[in-house]
Amino acid sequence: MLVEIVLLFVLVLVYAVLRDRRPRNCPPGPVEIPFFGRLPIPNAEVGEHLRKKYGDIMSYRTGPTRSVFLFDYNTARETLAKMEFSNRPDFISVISIDDQKIGGVVGSNGVHWQHDRRFVLRNLRNLGMGKCYLEVAINIEAKALVEDLKKYGGEAINYPDSFRTVALNIIWQMVASTRYDLRSEEVETIYRLTEKLRRILTGWSSLPLFIPALNKLPSSIKSAIFGDDVFRNFVEEMKNIVSGVVDKHLEDYDPDNPRDLIDEYIKDMKESEGEDNSLFRRGALNQIVSDLFFAGSDTVYNMMKWVVYLLARYPEYATRMQQQIDAVVPRDRMVSLDDKPSLPLVEAFTVEVLRYSAMTFFNVPRAADSDTIIDGFFVAKGTTVEVAIYSIHHDPRYWDDPHKFYPERFLDNSATKYTAPKQGFFAFGSGRRQCVGELLARMELFLFTAAIIQHFEVRPPHGVDISRDKYVTTGNFRLPPDNKLIYKPRI
């Protein structure tokens, strides 16, 4: 009996090795354990170690899912521009609140993605993205942020809740004509769920995404090992919140006076009722709203953490930017986008924050929709493709002294004019799925940063040295240390 068991084990092992072996001419990578492969890359240090060992294109398998990692800017840009890399991998749909799991602008594919993305881009432009009255809305939130920070009276505090709410309020007014209180319990609930979700999207807890067989475990066992309840709870809670907002819009809908993106979608959905091939659906609307919520708020929230942390860590830049602002903008007026040409260091500072922080180790993954080639290597259909943003933003081939925080790299020789990065910059992605909210995010980052610099001295508490701090890893996010900082109003 023992011989038969050993023989069966050997046969299964041989089968697994043959089934899961690396395809011919596949990008190189580390040794893969039969059946399981390897865990996802947990942080930038591991990614950089693998890059040095295997080169700018590397691959390995997690369960049956093979991933290719791109560490070079030019290779990544050329790859993501190709039609065959426009799709997302199937496992992204696990956090979709669309019952059919096919709608939205982040995780959808094919005609559904094209349809929903076109709708969002068209209506965000019509609703003000890039227009003057959107700048007014941002400055209203900037003023609210300034007043909120003044309330602490120079007390050392963690990153304030108002950072996340002011960012959310901008996109939420365009999407749902809603403005939240700076300490909204609803916003707190959503961010708490998001934080839990982010923590399990890498490492051991993410294995069921890559190994479908693990999803067949009893739910109690699966939840205990992998935290599956977090995925389910996130979807249920987010669906309840979004559905409540959309239901209210359906009750108040006036076809002659659309107020926001939700109303515009309802209008198109009602006009297309009865059409067999209409892609306007309630589930897709829910997912679009959810996607815009996170794309427009979570990213800016984390960017603002980096802004104030780096202001505190490099006070010499804060002083120079304050001098530049004071020379152009009266203290009783907020900085505007019209002031930007006169504030080159402020703009350079914000772009260097994006480069230096590299807030996400990897972009939202793509998937090859056919067998193809990347830089001479074979990539099979269904392979997940990820771009190492941290590696690109710290690549000495594109950046001098890349690990140094140095805003001057984005100024001309006279230091009087901002110069945009021409290569090696991947903060908003590239190709057909480049971030739809890039323009809005840049506006918010510039105006919120300028407001804080104009009105506050940001410092660590007395006697606290933050010069040697290291970043914090939360899922795929690279965040600054959660230090308390002082926001001292300027006299």
- Binding site, annotated residues for heme: 435
CA-based Rg of the chain, rounded to a whole angstrom?
Answer: 24
CB 283 within 8 A of CB 103: yes
CB 62 within 8 A of CB 39: yes
Element (H, E) at 119: helix 110-126
Burial of 30 (0-12, 13-18, 19+ CB in 10 A): middle
248 residue type, one letter: K
Q: Which two tokens stand for residue 176?
A: 């749902």
Binding site as annotated, residues: 435
CA distance 314 to 45: 24
CA distance 112 to 116: 6
CA angle 302, 356, 392 (to 5 degrees): 110
- If one counts every other C-beta atom within 10 angstroms of the C-beta of residue 49, the result is 12
CB 206 within 8 A of CB 476: no
308 residue type, one letter: V
Max Cα-Cα span within the chain: 88
Per-residue burial over 122-159, b if 16 or more Cβ lie within 10 Å, else e, is: ebbeebbbeeeebbebbbbbbebbbebbeeeeeeeeeb
The C-alpha torsion from 121 through 260 and 111 to 372, rounded to 10°, is: 40
Instruction: Please choose, from the candidates 271, 299, 245, the residue with its C-alpha nearest in 3D space to the C-alpha of residue 119.
Output: 271
Query: Tokens 């089968």 — which residue?
Result: 15
Helix, strand, coil percentages in the chain from 3-state DSSP, rounded to 5: 55, 10, 35
CA distance 249 to 12: 56
Instruction: Please choose, from the candidates 302, 326, 276, the residue with its C-alpha nearest in 3D space to the C-alpha of residue 450.
Output: 326
